[in-house]
Structure 1
Amino acid sequence: MAVITNEFPRTQFDEEAFFQRLDAKAVSRLRTAYTTRFVDAALREAPQEFSIVKAPGMVPQAGDVVIARVVELGKHTKLQSVHSRRQRMFPGQKIMVAYGNRYAPDQFLAHVPQDLGPCQLAAGGGLASSVEEQHDSIDQATQIAPLGLLMRNNQVVNLGDYAPLSIEKLSAQATAAQGSVRPPVIAVLGTSMNSGKTTTLACLVNGLTNAGLDVAAGKATGTGAGNDPDLFEDAGAVSVRDFTDFGYPTTYRLEYETIRQMLVSMIQEQSATGAQVVVIEIADGLFQGETGRLLNDPIFNQYVDRVLFSAQDALGAVAGEQILLNAGLDLAAVSGILTASPLSLREARGQLRTQVISTYDLCEADTALSLLPQA
């Protein structure tokens, strides 16, 4: 996290330095993003304590909060608000987002830039980044111009400073629950982005809820956005958490030890809610860097009891089954996008050793209960 050690002049600026003290009126005009929701609460409570600073040599880090101006709309024309409402953006508006890296095969590969120059909005949840590659089928990224980093008490504001949870220190609730028997944990993985993982998880949550169980849901890796947690809550989860609750706008390019501890901390936090089952989504596909390492890490087998796999087609399902079984994981079932096609469903059932369950059949109580690990 960047720290500014010198006070900036309040009354005069040169072409290379910029300072703006914020007030309630300026804050009310900001369009703030989902990733910055915990910072937003503090900003609106005491706006006079915050400022926007841009100066030569400032290098942003992942999670640093930036105030930017919308220059040209592209792929993302809407910004998810702190309440995950999709708010329409207009050129010239000021938005509050966070710097971060993104790995999305269907959209962008993007990294935190090395300066505060023009960059892109790489995700609708509120991610400022420098796009390096993109899928041929989508529009160019929305262009933004950073006005400066958000600062408080002469220090750059980072999402981790305001997050309610931390991987370094468990909450009092989770600490008190240590040593007790944790509930069963099911992880949902997939072949790739948009393989149906989130819907699969939501339907499983709904089915277990229909069976009378209290279910806690989480998303351990991915890109910060409100739609997935909202879906888990709509499905009936009594507690929902994702990595943004730990202060990370995305998990791509985090140190592996951080990813590893994120999974453990999330399971511990959700287990301490009193839930009878914990269901965790692992984003993107099995070949994504951190996902692949997690699957072969003994800690995954230690904390995850069973796995539900989501695939786009029968071939992907067969390959995924082999990878998961070779990793020594207890694969409960295959589901996902492929089950929307009767032909793909029959192909998969003809090739897999694992049972294939149509996504929305997971909403049935008996079906969902059958996927719980045996005592």
Structure 2
Amino acid sequence: MAIIAESLPTQSAAARNEVQQQIDAQRARTIRAAYTTRFAAAELQRNPQDFEIVRRANMVPRSGDVVIANVAELGKHTRLQSPVSRRQLMFVGQEIMVAYGHRYAPDQFLAHVPDNLGPCQLVAGGGVASEVIEQHASIDKATQLEPVGLLMRQGKVVNLLDFAPLSIENESPRAAQIDAPRPPVIAVLGTSMNSGKSTTLGCLVNGLVNSGMQVAAGKATGTGAGNDPNLFTDAGAFSVCDFTDFGFPTTYRLDYETVRDLLVAMIREQSATGAGTVVIEIADGLFQGETSRLLRDPIFTAQVDRVLFSAQDALGAQAGERILLDAGLDVAAVSGVLTASPLAAMEAQAQLATPVIGTFDLCQAEVAAALLPTR
């Protein structure tokens, strides 16, 4: 007699992969939060019972969505910047809180937000999860992450925009009340990543502060990390913000109108502080997509009075000067990495109409004050 085996119900792979976990106070304390997620992390610490971790087969993350992930394998980034930008050492198996985001870094990774919650990579120490498309040949492969699930609150995926203190759509009450002309605005741009932009900006801030001026500083584009805002604060800026304060983990692949509105909103917010001068960093190089479009936009020339340019070598300085002048910008000086070499600085000065100024010479009050725009 044939025996017919009764098939037992089996759980599908998709169902086994689904997660819905409440977060108690103890778990909230042990999750290592990143700099990019600092505002969401603060709310999680205050009210962990309002949050849960959810993973479903049909979930597609967006840039800025907050994800809880396990560290699967250490690679390029062995440390994660904390909400106060302390470089906390990571261990395999730890749960971390980061944000999905795209990354454009010629010296490191080109990475895009994946279309699922599968394994991904930590592509920035400030706390950006993404899928590596390309990487520089000289660096280690990216640290590997295994997402547990997206952070949710009241049935909605938590995005950095939800807890950001500033917004490009709704300006702060302080900015809304501005009725005086804005202060002078200086933008710092460069030939590329690691051309010395942030150090140049910091030294300029320090020199202006040494001249007796109140300075507000910001970083309008780039990848979220606390290093540069902390540098600006250490240099003496009394008000500092960056694009993460507006709810963006990175600005790469944002639609151009958002990037433009972000720059305008940042200048307006920093102008409302009562600063005598506002200094803004534009990340990466002149050929990077968002930067290139900004330079051609009349709004940029209307919002920025002068430009300080950082270059790595004389040839880059010459090309950058030409691009900026062709865009109708007032180039105050060339500085950056090339000024670490007296020979490179001399080569550049021989080819430029713009003065070449040593990065740390910008800390001198008279040097910095001489770069202020005249109106």
Percent sequence identity over aligned pairs: 70
Q: How far is the alpha carbon of 1:17 from its aligned partner?
A: 1.1
Letter in 1 for 2:224: G
Which residue of structure 2 aligns with residue 7 of structure 1? none
Q: Which has the larger radius of gyration?
A: 2
Which residue of structure 2 aligns with residue 107 of structure 1? 108
Letter in 2 for 1:160: L
Matches within 5 A, 1:1-375: 14-177=15-178, 179-375=179-375
Alpha-carbon distance in 2 for matches of 1:20, 1:115: 19
Alpha-carbon distance in 2 for matches of 1:219, 1:201: 10
Q: How many residues align?
A: 362
Per-residue Cα deviation, 1:221-241 (whole angstroms, up to 9, x for no partner): 000000000000000001000
Letter in 2 for 1:116: L
Per-residue Cα deviation, 1:108-165 (whole angstroms, up to 9, x for no partner): 0000000000000000000000000000010000000000000000100000000000
3-state DSSP class of the match of 2:16? Answer: coil
Q: How far is the alpha carbon of 1:180 from its aligned partner?
A: 1.4
3-state DSSP class of the match of 2:117? Answer: coil
Alpha-carbon distance in 1 for matches of 2:309, 2:56: 48
Letter in 1 for 2:43: A
Q: How far is the alpha carbon of 1:14 from its aligned partner?
A: 3.7
RMSD value, Cα: 0.7
Alpha-carbon distance in 1 for matches of 2:41, 2:32: 10
Per-residue Cα deviation, 1:50-96 (whole angstroms, up to 9, x for no partner): 00000111000000000000000000000000000000000000000
Alpha-carbon distance in 2 for matches of 1:79, 1:306: 35
Alpha-carbon distance in 2 for matches of 1:367, 1:156: 49
Alpha-carbon distance in 1 for matches of 2:295, 2:180: 25
- Structure 1 segments, 4+ long, off by >6 Å, are none
Alpha-carbon distance in 1 for matches of 2:320, 2:349: 14
What are structure 1's unaligned runs of at least 5 residues?
A: 1-12
Letter in 1 for 2:83: V
Alpha-carbon distance in 2 for matches of 1:141, 1:213: 43
Q: TM-score, normalising length from structure 1?
A: 0.96
Letter in 1 for 2:268: Q
Q: How far is the alpha carbon of 1:16 from its aligned partner?
A: 2.6
Alpha-carbon distance in 1 for matches of 2:162, 2:168: 13
Alpha-carbon distance in 2 for matches of 1:168, 1:357: 38
